[in-house]
Amino acid sequence: MTQEPYSPRCYALVPAAGVGERSGAGRPKQYVDIAGRPMLAHTLAALAAVPRLVQTLVVLSPGDDRFEAALPDYAGWIARVGGASRAESVLGGLAELRRRGAGDDDWVLVHDAARCLLRPAWVDALIDACLGDAVGGLLAQPIADTLKAGDADDRVTATIDRRDKWAAQTPQMFRLGLVERALLLMGAAATDEASAVEALGLAPRLVRASMANFKVTWPEDFELAERCLRA
């Protein structure tokens, strides 16, 4: 009997356990309606349109009492294992993926719930670029604007050479075993998976996406996201 060679699977993991403080929405921003649907519904629809993702796991905060009412049609996995930081929420999600059968060599694409303008084609480009890569990588965008450092009074303190600078986005795609080890070592200080992987001395691949893959963060971002989604 011949055994099929094991081919790693790709999972999506969506941290959605934040409170959205900067958004000023007065409730977790992932549940704010944009173009007629909760932000999180747009995010999950984009991931569901990527056939190579075998499953999506949404990480909710332990006290979340909105998900089922806000997304009644969602058929993927959820787990109320969110933590105090994004990194802790992702770690909770990785442990849950293991409980559900994922292993060290499987790929995990971690994607912010708040990046609701994600397009399936960008996810495909990331998967294409990373499947054969020893480290993994992330969607990112080269910085076009001149970069300034500012002080507490909003005064410029320096102009920073932008030529080698990229804005990191999500999804960020790494093997489960690697990203879990990296996040455990770096702890809550890791604001994304790539920085934790970098701290291990590895160089994730930058995969160019689009400015349109922005993270809804500030109050005015909801309107911009709405216009993009309706266009």
Least CB distance to ligand CTP at residue 20 (A): 4
Pairing mode, if any, of strands 136-142 and 205-208? parallel
Selected binder of ligand CTP within 10, 53, 59, 108 (CB under 6 A): 59
Tell me if 84 contacts ligand CTP by CB under 6 A: yes
Q: Are 206 and 133 in contact (CB under 8 A)?
A: no
Convert residues 162-201 into a mask of x (bound to ligand CTP by CB under 6 A) and - (unbound): ----------------------------------------
Residue 224: exposure state from Cβ atoms within 10 A (0-12, 13-18, ≥19): middle
Identity of residue 205? R
Least CB distance to ligand CTP at residue 1 (A): 44
How far is 28 from 75, CA to CA, in rounded Å? 21
Least CB distance to ligand CTP at residue 170 (A): 8
Pairing mode, if any, of strands 147-150 and 10-15? unpaired
- Residue with CB nearest ligand CTP? 18
Tell me if 92 contacts ligand CTP by CB under 6 A: no
In three state form, how does the secondary structure of 102-171 look?
CCCCCEEEECCCCCCCCCHHHHHHHHHHHCCCCCEEEEEEECCCCEEEECCCCCEEEEECCCCCEEEEEE
How far is 62 from 79, CA to CA, in rounded Å? 8
The residue written with tokens 């965008």 in the block is: 141
Least CB distance to ligand CTP at residue 205 (A): 21
Closer of 19 and 185 to ligand CTP (Cβ): 19
What DSSP designation does 5 have? Answer: P
Closer of 110 and 127 to ligand CTP (Cβ): 110
Tell me if 121 contacts ligand CTP by CB under 6 A: no
Selected binder of ligand CTP within 56, 89, 141, 172 (CB under 6 A): 89
Tell me if 210 contacts ligand CTP by CB under 6 A: no
The residue among 225, 211, 26, 6 whose CA lies nearest residue 101 is 6
User: Per CB under 6 A, which region of 2-10, 72-80, 84-92, 201-209 contacts ligand CTP?
Assistant: 84-92
Selected binder of ligand CTP within 10, 13, 16, 196 (CB under 6 A): 16
Tell me if 82 contacts ligand CTP by CB under 6 A: yes
| Interacting residues with ligand CTP (CB under 6 A) | 15-23, 30, 59, 82-86, 89, 112-114, 215, 217
